[in-house]
Structure 1
Amino acid sequence: MQKEGERLIPINIVDEMKSSYIDYSMSVIVSRALPDVRDGLKPVHRRVLYGMYGLGVFSNRKYLKSARIVGDVLGKYHPHGDSSVYDAMVRMAQDWSLRYPQVDGQGNFGSMDGDPPAAMRYTEARLKKISDEVLSDLDKETVDFQNNFDDSLQEPTVMPTKIPNLLVNGTSGIAVGMATNMAPHNLSESVDAICAYIDNKEITIDELMQHIIAPDFPTGGIIYGYDGVRDAFHTGRGRVVLRAKVNFDEIGNRNAIIVTEIPYQVNKAEMIARTAELVKDEKITGIHEIRDESDRKGLRVVYELKNDAIPNVVLNLLYKYTALQTSFSVNNIALVHGRPEQLNLKDIIHHFVEHRHEVIVRRTQFELKKAKERAHILEGFMKVIGTQDALDRAISIIRHSANPQAAKEGLIEAFELSDIQAQAILDLRLARLTGMELDKIRDEYDAIMKEIENLEDILANEPRRFQIIKDELIEVKEKYGDERRTEIDYSGGEMSIEDIIPNESVVLTISHAGYIKRTSLSEYKIQSRGGVGNKAATTRDSDFLEYIVSATNHQYMLFFTEKGRCYWLRVFEIPEGSKTAKGRAVQNLINIEPDDKIKAYIRTNNLKDSEYVNQMSVVMVTKNGTIKKTSLEAYSRPRVNGVNAIEIRDNDQLLGAYLTNGTSQIMIATKNGKCIRFPEEKVREVGRGSIGVRGIAMEDNDEAIGMIVVNDVENETVLVVSEKGYGKRTAVEDYRITNRGGKGVITLNITEKTGNLIAIQNVTDEDGLMIINKSGVAIRMGMDEMRVMGRNTQGVKLINLKKNDEIAAIAKVEMDKDVEDDSGEFEEGTDIVTDNQEDDTTPQAENENTAEENENSDSEE
C-alpha cells in the first residue's frame, strides 16, 4: 500500500536486471578477478602486500602472525571474508603455486597433495626479498592512491613494481562473462625480452620468443609440443600441453618409471589415487605397485612395473589416462586502463615498460622536488651564516625579538628569506653554527645542485630514462634470476624441429644387448690419435658396443624387428649420455611388442628430403630366403607405433635390413653353407605391404642365416662363421654373379666337425669381430689377424670351444671412420670374458666338390 508522500516509478524489470547485472559484473571484473596489466596483481594481492608494507614485516624483520596481517588488511583495505585474504596470502607463499613467491611463510602453508594450510592463528609470515622490488619507491609519489572502502585511509591503485609480475608469476581468475589464465615465465628470460623490446620497439613477437622461449612453471615438467606456446605468445590464447618429467630405472629385478616433476597445478595425491583406480579397473596394465617417495629433498613417485611390461607402453598409457599429461589453456586477459583486454606477449611487455617509464618519471619529479626544497633551505643557511657579520646580525635579531614569530619576520626582512628558509634558521641547533658545519653545508649544497642537474637531465632525456629501466631490470635479474625449470619437447608438436634444435654432430652407440645413447662428437675428439686411451662405455655382463656411427641431430634411426615391423627415432630423441654411460634400452624408447626383437638398425638422412628418400632403398631378407626391396620413401612418414615393413609368414622371421643406393650387390648365405651373389637391380622394387620375392632357393632342411650388401668389391671381403668355431675370409670376386633366386655356390663345406653356418659379414682389415658363445663368453678378435683365403677351403678354427659349447652369434663391431678415437672403446670397461684365442689353423681341406649349381629362376614365391 502506497504511503502518503511516496511516489512509485514503474520500471521495466528486464532493464533493471540488465543494469544491475552489468554493475555487478564490472565490480567483479575490475575489483576482484582480473589483474592489472602494469603490476600483475589483483586487488586482494595488492592489499596484502600493502598491508604487510604498512606493518613493516619486510624480509629482514621478524615474522608476524598471519592473523595479525589478515586482520590489518581486512580492517583497512579489503572488506570481504577473512578466508579470501588468508587464502591469497597462502598462495603467495607457496613455491609450487608461484614461480617467484612474494610472501615468506613460516609454519604449515599446505602441500602439493592439496593439504590445507594451518589456521592463520598458527602460521606466521613476512615479505620475501623479491617483494621489496614490487614495493620499491612506493613512498615517492610514483603511483596514484585512492580512498579505501570507508574513506578513512589511502591505498595504492597499482604497485610501482620493478618485477614484470604478470609475466613471471602469471595469474588465474574467473570473472563474470570472462576469465583469465596466464602462465608464469622465467624472470631472466623475461628481463632479456623486455630489454630487447626497449632496444627495438618494432621487434616482432618471433624475435621476442628468442629471449622468452616458453612458459616456465614452478613445478618444472616438460612442455610437450610448441604450437600452443606459439599461439599463446602471438594471440594471447593457446593450449600448452604439459608432461611430467620421468626417467626409467631398475628396482631389484623390475623396471620402474620414476616421476620427479609433475605438471603445474596437479594435485599429486589425487593423481596417484586416480592412477591406482585405473590400474584396479585394468584401464592401465603393467603396473605392479605405486609409491610416493617424495620428501623435503624433492618429488619422487615410483611406478614399479610388472616383469612383462614395456616401460614406454605403460608411460604412454599414464600420459593418456592420468594427470601425468595435462594442458594449460593460456588466456591472457588483464585490465588495461581499467578495461579488460586480451594481450599477446608484446602487449604485456609494452604495458609494463610504459608503466615503468611513468614510475621513473614520477620518481624523478619527486626526487627533484625534494632536492630543490633542500637546496632552497641550504641557500637560506648560507645567506645567514655564510659570514661572521651575517651570523652575528641574525643572532642579534633572534635575541631581541619578543617571540618566534617576530624573530622569523625580522630574519625575512633582514636577509630577504622565504618563510620556509626563516623557519629552518630558527630550527637550527647551535652546533650547526660552527665553521666546520658551514663547510658541510656548502658541500651538501654543491652535491644537491649536481643531483638537481642530473635529475633534470633524466626528465629531459627519454633514452636515458629507458636506459634506467634496463639497468634496474638487469639488476633485478642478477639478484633473483635463475635457470628455467620447465623443459621443452619440441617433437611433441608440428613445429619444424630443425628451426629449434641445432644440427650438431653426435656419435650413436648401440650395444649388442640393445642399449643405445648419443654422445657429442666433441667428446670423442678430445683425445687425438695415438693417445693412451680412456675408459669406454659401461655395459652389462656379456654385453659390448656393437654399432658406433657418427650422425647429426636431424637424422633418423630406423629399427627393424624380427616380426617385420619398422620403428623410427630422431637422433635428438635418443637419450644423451657420456662416453662411459651404458645408455637406455631401445625397447624403452619405441613401442615394440614384448615378444619381438630388433634385428637391424639403419641411419638415414632427413626423411623429408624427397630426392634422397626416392633415391635410396631398403633391402630386407627373411629366414625362408625371401628378399624384399622397397623405396625408402615408403618409410619416410614416421608413426609412433611403427609400421609393417614386410609381411612375415608362419615359421619365418626377418634377419636383416640394409640401406642401398641402387648399385649395390647382395649376398645371402644359408646354414647349409650355400651363398648367392647377385646385383641389387635383379630385385625389383615393391610396395611396403608386399611380401617380397625369392632371394635364394633352398632345400627343405635349409634356411637363410644372413645377408650382406657389398658396395666396395675390391676392399671388402666375405666372412662366414660356423657354429663349431670355424670361419674364413674370402674375396667377394670368388663368388660369381648370378641371377636372383638361384641355389648359390658353396661358401663353407659343412660337416659334423664345422657345424652349420651361423653368420655372414662383409669385413675389412680395420673391422673388429665379436664372437658370442652359447655359454655367455664373448671374445673379440681383429680382422687383420685373419688372412683372406679361397672360397673352396675349409677355413680356420677361430676359437677353441669347450665341450658341448657352440657359437651363438657373431657381430661386426662397426666403428664409423668419422669417429676419431683410438681410446680402446671396445676393450676397457666392457665386462666381457676374454680368452687368448689361438690361430688354430687346421690344414686346408682337400678340394671339395666345386660343382656350382645355379638355377636362373626369377619367379616370385
Structure 2
Amino acid sequence: MSSDAPERFDPDAGIAADVETARIEQEMEQSYIDYAMSVIAGRALPDARDGLKPVHRRILYAMHELGVTARSSHRKSSSIVGETMGDYHPHGDSAIYDTLARMAQDFSMREPLVDGQGNFGSVDGDPPAAMRYTEARMSPIAEELLSDIDMDTVDFQPNYDDRLEEPSVLPAAFPNLLVNGSSGIAVGMSTNIPPHNLGEVIDATIHLIDNPDCTVEDLMEHVKGPDFPTGANIVGRNAIHKAYKTGRGRIRVRAEFEVEGGDRIVITELPFQANKARLVERIADNVNDGTIEGIRDLRDESDRDGIRVVVELKRGANAEVVQNQLLEHHLESTFGVINLALVDGQPQVLDLKETLAEYLEHRRTVVRRRSQYELDEKQDRAHILEGRLRALQSADDVVEVIRNSESRDDAKAALRGEHVVEADGEPLPAFDFSAAQADHIVAMQLGSLTTMEADEIKQEYEEVQARIERLEAILNDPNELDDVVRSELEAIKAEYDGDRRTSIIEDTGSVTHEDLIAEEDVVVVVTEDDYIKRMPLDRFSAQHRGGKGIIGTELKEDDRVSSVYVASTHDYLLYFTTHGKVYQLKTYQVPEMSRTARGKSAVNLLDLADGEEITAVVNCADMEADEEKYLTMATREGYLKRTSVENFQNIRSTGIIATKLGDGDALVDVEITDGSRDLILASREGMAIRFEESDVRAMGRSARGVRGIKLEGDDEVAALAAVDAGRHEWVLTVTERGYGKRTDIDQYRRQSRNGKGLIDIKTNDRNGDVCELETVAPDDHLFVMSGGGQILRTPVGDLSVVGRNTMGVTVMDVAPGDTVATVDVHSAADAGEAATAPGDNEAATAPGDSEANANAG
C-alpha cells in the first residue's frame, strides 16, 4: 500500500469523539420548547406575585435606581429608556418606550404606575410623542411595588451581562396582578387579565387572610367584577362568576350612553381598549351604507373632561331602535378573560382564590424576610448599645485603659481582654467587650459621657429591645405575621382606594330595551285627548297638604288631565279604556319629557279607536305572585266584574276586550284582587258601599258583570278600592274641588252588594263631586293632579282622620275654574322617602279646615 494513501477515518478519535448523534425531529422539538419557555417566562406572561412582566419590572427598578420617584422631578423618557435598555433589558428602545407610555395612560391602567408629562397617547389611538419630548417619573402607587426592596425582601439575579443585579420579583405592597390586569401573547398560550378596583381586591385579600377556607363565591362578595379604567358596564354576572371560578370566561362590556332631549344619543363611556376615533368612523360608515338607520348627524365633542360622542337622530326616529342598532354593531364588546400567570416560573391558569393566595404567600414571605433583616440590624444595634452602657458604668476604668494604651489597636485589644494595660506599674481592670463593641467604645467622644447622653443611650436601648421583641413575635407567630400583612393592605387601601367606575347590569340573554333604560320610579300623566308622557319621580318632592303643587304637564286648548300614576320604568302596565278594552305597554315605552312638555299622542303607542280614552292603569308587577289573582273592574253605571289574570296573558298590540259594556256605560276603575279582599265602590255624590269580593263571582272577559251599587238619580261610580286587611288602615276620599279626608276602614261596615251604601263624604258646592277613593297605609304618598296640569305630592299622614259624612280638609289648593282630575297612591317605602320641600310649611293650614269635622246635620 502506498504511504501517500489517506488515513482511515476513526469516529472514536480526535474531535469526532466529542460529536453526539441526535435525531433532528427531537432536537427541533427540544429547541422549540426551550425557546417557547424563554418567551413565556422572560417576556410575555406576568408573575402571579407582583403582576409584572420583566419589561415592566425592569423599567420600574431602573427608575428606582435613578431616583426618579414620585417625589423627584420628571426625567426625560429617553433617559429612562436608555438606562433600562443599557442595564437590564437588552431589547429595542421602542418596545421599552411603548411599555413606559402604557403605564402612564389612565385609560389603559386602572392605577397608572408612571406619572407622565407630555403626550402619552389617547383613546383615539394616537401614538405617544417621541421619547425625547416626554418626561416621566414613578407614580406614588408604583413606589408601593418597590417598598422595602433594599431590605432583602426579594431575590436578586444577575442582569444580562452579569455587571449588575436585578430583582426577580418586586415586593408588591398590593395585588397588582388583579388591580392593573395584564395581557400578552406567548408561544402557544396567552393571558388577558382584566383590571379591578383596588379597594375590592384588598378587601378580598383580607377576607382570605381571615378565612383561609373561603370559597370563590365568598370572595365575590368583595370583588364584584372587573373595574375598567374607562368605566362602561358589564352585562350579567354569570360570566364574571365563571371567570373567577375557572380562570376563563367571556365578559360582555357595554358603553355608557343616554338619550338627551329625545332626539340625540350621547355616549359618555366606552368599553375597555376601544378606539374612539375608529368607533366614530365605523358608525359613520354604517350610517352611509344603510346598516344603521335613523341617524342624521354624528360628532365627537370629547375634551379633557371626558368622552362625549353625540348621535343626532332624524325627526321621528325611535331612539330605542337606534340604540339597539348601535349596541349590536358598535357599543358592546367581549373581554375574554384568561387568568394565566407564572407560578414558580411555570404558566398556570388561576381562579380568583388561587390568584389571591399566590399574592398573599408572596407578601408573607416579603414581610418575613423584611422582619428578619430588620431583626438582624436591631440585634446588632442592641449589642453595640449594651457595650456602650457597660462602658458608661465603668467609664473611669475604660478611660484609664484607653489613656494608658500606646495606640487605638492596643486600646481595642485591651477592651477585648486580649492583654492587660498597666498604669504606674499596676494592672488596670480587664474587660471582655466584643470587637464591634470595642470599636465603638474607642470611637466614642467625651461628650457622650454626660448624663444626658447616657439617658439617651438607655432610652434607645429600650426602644431597640421592644422592637426586637415585636420582630421576634412576627417571625415566630403566623397570626402576628398576618396582622402585619393585613394592616399594610388596609393602609394602602386608605391611601389609594377610589370609587368603582364600571357598573354591572343584569344580563337578560340578549340586548333588550331594559338594558338601555335605567330602572327608576316615574310619574306617568295621561290627558283626555290621550297625550301621554313620563317624568322621574324625584322631580316631585313631598309637600304639605293644601299646596298648589307644581306644573306637571302642559296642555293644549280644551284638553284636561285624565289620570296620573307612579310605576317603575321596567314595569308592564295594562291600560284600560272607556270602551272596555285593555292594552299592554312597558313604562319605558312612554316617552320621557319635562314637566312643561305636552307629551306624545297615545295613538302612536296604543292602537286606540276614535273617542276611546284611557280610564284605568294596572301594574303587572302586582300580578306576579303564586296565588290566584283577579282583575276586578267597575263601570260608570255600577256594574262589577272579576276576571282571572290568566285571561290577560297574551294581549295583542291592538288590545283585547276586558269587559262587555252596556249602551252609554264606560269602564271607570280596575283593581288587582286575590279573592279574599273586601271591595269598596264610591259614587260621585259621596256614597260608598263595602262588601266581600266573593260576592262577585269570577267571569270571563266577555261578560258584563253584576251590580255592585244601587245608584240614585244621575249618580255615577267614581272609583273602586280593594282592602288589604294586613296593610290598609284608612279610606281616603278626594273631591273635585281639592278637599279630602282619611276615615278608619272600620267605619265602613260590610253590606251585601247592590245596596245604596253609606254616606262617605259631603258633596256640596265647596267640595264638589267625589273624584277618587283609595285605601291607604301610613307610609303612602298621594299624587294629586288637577285637570289643568298641576301636580301635588303629599304624605297621607298630612290629612286629618275624621269620620264618614264629613267635609274633609284642603288637600290641594285648586285654582279657580280648575278641578282635581285624578289621584294615585304610592308607597313611600317603595319610592324612597322624599324630603318636604322648602317653604311648604306655609301650606300646613289651609282655608276651610275648620269645617273638617262638620257633620251631616
With normalisation by structure 2, the TM-score equals: 0.71
1:527-676 pair list within 5 angstroms: 531=544, 539-542=552-555, 556-558=571-573, 560=575, 566-568=584-586, 601-605=617-621, 609-611=625-627, 614-617=628-631, 631-633=644-646, 644=653, 646=655, 658=670, 660-661=672-673
Structure 1 contact 226–492 (Cα < 8 Å) conserved: no
Structure 2 contact 534–592 (Cα < 8 Å) conserved: no
1:292 is matched with 300
Once residues 354 and 45 of structure 1 are traced to their aligned partners in structure 2, the CA distance between those partners, rounded to angstroms, is 22
Structure 2 contact 74–135 (Cα < 8 Å) conserved: yes
1:835 is matched with none
**Cα distance, 1:126–1:662 mapped onto 2, change above 3 Å:** closer
2:98 is matched with 87
Once residues 64 and 384 of structure 2 are traced to their aligned partners in structure 1, the CA distance between those partners, rounded to angstroms, is 31
Q: Secondary structure at the match of 1:140?
A: coil
1:724-763 pair list within 5 angstroms: none
CA RMSD across the alignment: 5.3
Once residues 647 and 70 of structure 1 are traced to their aligned partners in structure 2, the CA distance between those partners, rounded to angstroms, is 74
1:497 is matched with none
Structure 1 contact 548–815 (Cα < 8 Å) conserved: no
Question: What is the identity, as a one-letter code, of the residue corresponding to 1:218?
Answer: P
Deviation at 1:17, TM superposition (A): 2.1
1:293-692 pair list within 5 angstroms: 293-322=301-330, 324-398=331-405, 400-401=406-407, 405-412=409-416, 413=418, 415-429=431-445, 431-490=447-506, 492=508, 508-512=522-526, 513-519=532-538, 524=542, 531=544, 539-542=552-555, 556-558=571-573, 560=575, 566-568=584-586, 601-605=617-621, 609-611=625-627, 614-617=628-631, 631-633=644-646, 644=653, 646=655, 658=670, 660-661=672-673, 685=700
Q: Secondary structure at the match of 2:323?
A: helix
Which has the larger displacement, 141-150 or 445-454? Answer: 445-454
Q: Secondary structure at the match of 1:409?
A: helix
Deviation at 1:269, TM superposition (A): 0.8
Deviation at 1:383, TM superposition (A): 3.6
1:194-273 pair list within 5 angstroms: 194-250=205-261, 255-273=263-281
Question: What is the identity, as a one-letter code, of the residue corresponding to 1:632?
Answer: V
Tell me if 1:75 matches 2:86. yes
**Cα distance, 1:5–1:576 mapped onto 2, change above 3 Å:** same
Once residues 388 and 200 of structure 1 are traced to their aligned partners in structure 2, the CA distance between those partners, rounded to angstroms, is 56
Q: Secondary structure at the match of 1:233?
A: helix
Question: What is the identity, as a one-letter code, of the residue corresponding to 1:351?
Answer: E
Once residues 162 and 779 of structure 1 are traced to their aligned partners in structure 2, the CA distance between those partners, rounded to angstroms, is 57
1:844 is matched with none
Once residues 231 and 598 of structure 2 are traced to their aligned partners in structure 1, the CA distance between those partners, rounded to angstroms, is 26
Q: Secondary structure at the match of 1:126?
A: strand
**Cα distance, 1:158–1:538 mapped onto 2, change above 3 Å:** farther
Cα deviation, 1:173-229, whole Å, max 9, x if unaligned, reads 111221111111111122222222211112222222222212111111112211111
Once residues 546 and 821 of structure 2 are traced to their aligned partners in structure 1, the CA distance between those partners, rounded to angstroms, is 23
Structure 1 contact 507–520 (Cα < 8 Å) conserved: no
Structure 2 contact 242–249 (Cα < 8 Å) conserved: yes
Cα deviation, 1:41-82, whole Å, max 9, x if unaligned, reads 111111111111000111111001111111111111111111
Tell me if 1:813 matches 2:823. yes
**Cα distance, 1:338–1:682 mapped onto 2, change above 3 Å:** same
Deviation at 1:440, TM superposition (A): 2.5
Tell me if 1:191 matches 2:202. yes
**Cα distance, 1:242–1:511 mapped onto 2, change above 3 Å:** same
Deviation at 1:96, TM superposition (A): 0.8
Could you tell me which runs of 5 or more consecutive residues in structure 2 were left unpaired when the two chains were aligned: 1-8, 420-430, 511-518, 527-531, 658-665, 682-692, 707-715, 724-730, 737-752, 755-769, 777-781, 793-799, 805-813, 841-857
Deviation at 1:545, TM superposition (A): 8.6
Structure 2 contact 239–249 (Cα < 8 Å) conserved: yes
**Cα distance, 1:770–1:422 mapped onto 2, change above 3 Å:** closer
Deviation at 1:587, TM superposition (A): 8.8
Once residues 358 and 368 of structure 2 are traced to their aligned partners in structure 1, the CA distance between those partners, rounded to angstroms, is 15
2:282 is matched with 274
Structure 1 contact 665–709 (Cα < 8 Å) conserved: no
1:30 is matched with 41
Structure 1 contact 360–465 (Cα < 8 Å) conserved: yes
Question: What is the identity, as a one-letter code, of the residue corresponding to 1:281?
Answer: D
Question: What is the identity, as a one-letter code, of the residue corresponding to 1:514?
Answer: K
Q: Secondary structure at the match of 2:263?
A: strand
Once residues 469 and 629 of structure 1 are traced to their aligned partners in structure 2, the CA distance between those partners, rounded to angstroms, is 66
**Cα distance, 1:380–1:629 mapped onto 2, change above 3 Å:** same
Could you tell me which runs of 5 or more consecutive residues in structure 1 were left unpaired when the two chains were aligned: 495-502, 622-626, 649-653, 668-677, 687-691, 697-705, 721-735, 738-759, 789-797, 802-806, 829-861
1:119-134 pair list within 5 angstroms: 119-134=130-145
**Cα distance, 1:30–1:508 mapped onto 2, change above 3 Å:** same
Once residues 99 and 236 of structure 2 are traced to their aligned partners in structure 1, the CA distance between those partners, rounded to angstroms, is 32
Structure 1 contact 244–325 (Cα < 8 Å) conserved: yes
Question: What is the identity, as a one-letter code, of the residue corresponding to 2:554?
Answer: D
Q: Secondary structure at the match of 1:99?
A: coil
Q: Secondary structure at the match of 1:138?
A: coil
Once residues 574 and 488 of structure 1 are traced to their aligned partners in structure 2, the CA distance between those partners, rounded to angstroms, is 25
Cα deviation, 1:593-645, whole Å, max 9, x if unaligned, reads 7786895642234665333xx43349899xxxxx99975357779xxxx9647
Q: Secondary structure at the match of 2:34?
A: helix
**Cα distance, 1:575–1:110 mapped onto 2, change above 3 Å:** farther
Cα deviation, 1:135-184, whole Å, max 9, x if unaligned, reads 11111101111111111111111111111111211111111221111111
Q: Secondary structure at the match of 2:150?
A: helix
Once residues 290 and 190 of structure 2 are traced to their aligned partners in structure 1, the CA distance between those partners, rounded to angstroms, is 37
Q: Secondary structure at the match of 1:314?
A: helix
Once residues 162 and 826 of structure 2 are traced to their aligned partners in structure 1, the CA distance between those partners, rounded to angstroms, is 80
How many residues matched?
710
Q: Secondary structure at the match of 2:132?
A: coil
Which has the larger displacement, 368-377 or 540-549? Answer: 540-549
With normalisation by structure 1, the TM-score equals: 0.70
Cα deviation, 1:229-252, whole Å, max 9, x if unaligned, reads 1212222222221111222212xx
Q: Secondary structure at the match of 1:510?
A: strand
Aligned equivalent of 2:169, options 158, 177, 180: 158
**Cα distance, 1:778–1:31 mapped onto 2, change above 3 Å:** closer
Which has the larger displacement, 508-517 or 462-471? Answer: 508-517
Aligned equivalent of 1:46, options 57, 63, 70: 57
Structure 1 contact 143–359 (Cα < 8 Å) conserved: yes
Once residues 26 and 474 of structure 1 are traced to their aligned partners in structure 2, the CA distance between those partners, rounded to angstroms, is 37
Structure 1 contact 518–575 (Cα < 8 Å) conserved: no
1:141 is matched with 152
**Cα distance, 1:486–1:410 mapped onto 2, change above 3 Å:** same
**Cα distance, 1:66–1:545 mapped onto 2, change above 3 Å:** farther
Structure 1 contact 224–493 (Cα < 8 Å) conserved: no
